[in-house]
Amino acid sequence: KNQVEQSPQSLIILEGKNCTLQCNYTVSPFSNLRWYKQDTGRGPVSLTIMTFSENTKSNGRYTATLDADTKQSSLHITASQLSDSASYICVVRPMDSSYKLIFGSGTRLLVRP
Amino acid sequence: GAVVSQHPSRVICKSGTSVKIECRSLDFQATTMFWYRQFPKQSLMLMATSNEGSKATYEQGVEKDKFLINHASLTLSTLTVTSAHPEDSSFYICSASPGKWNTEAFFGQGTRLTVV
């Protein structure tokens, strides 16, 4: 069964600190893996998108890595800001014809002053 | 990036009434759009796939007569919650993707539906 699991479920860090969120998936083969940021009461916004052949992708203070051998991805946030407080969702697009996405349950990040 | 606009952002309706939610792709055409439902502190759950010019495909357990989907043009899909009940209160989100393969999905802002 195609699954995407994220850890930790929630995380609290101090402003200015770095953090890393984890995503393990069993989806295979897959077309791409994405990280989204979802603010409370808003729709998800794309941070990074990586194909199976890419190892890393950056977007400002966000850096995603992908290890297709171990089926793991991580999202590293550098110098966290209060506005980084949100849910971060790992999403995998299987390589099939359904166009459906497989969502992780998300990591809720709280950045405190 | 591409923009998907969802309207309204919030709606409160009485039990038994119907509510229509619109999802528009503003700067691209989308033959396929997706409708999700999200419960508090949970991830998105796919409800149905909206196909332009044809019937929507519903996920198992989603009542098609309850959640009517119309995808009449390449830039607009609508979700109508019919005869709404308090248990239909939720956060509804649509997504669309340029091109055919949902390579990169763009999400609407979401609609908070409260049925009283």
What pLDDT was estimated at residue B104?
78
pLDDT at A103 over 90: yes
Q: Is A46 in contact with B102 (Cβ distance < 8 A)? A: no
Q: Tell me which chain B residues have a C-beta less than 8 angstroms from the C-beta of A108.
A: 41
CB contacts under 8 A, B 2-21 vs A, are: 4, 6
Residue B34's closest chain A neighbor by CA?
A: A100
- Which residue from A49, A89, A93 is facing B43, i.e. has the nearest CB? A89
Q: Looking at the complex, does the CB of residue B28 fall below 8 Å from at least one CB of chain A?
A: no
pLDDT in tens, A33-79: 999 999 999 999 999 999 988 999 999 999 999 999 999 999 999 99
pLDDT band at A98 (very low <50, low <70, confident <90, very high): confident
Q: With an 8 Å Cβ cutoff, are B101 and A101 in contact?
A: no
Nearest C-alpha neighbor of A35 from the set A79, A93, A81: A93
B24-46: b (≥16 Cβ within 10 Å) or e = bbeeeebbbbbbbbbeeeebbeb
Contact with chain B for residue A43, Cβ under 8 A: yes
Cis peptide before A94 (omega within 30 of 0): no
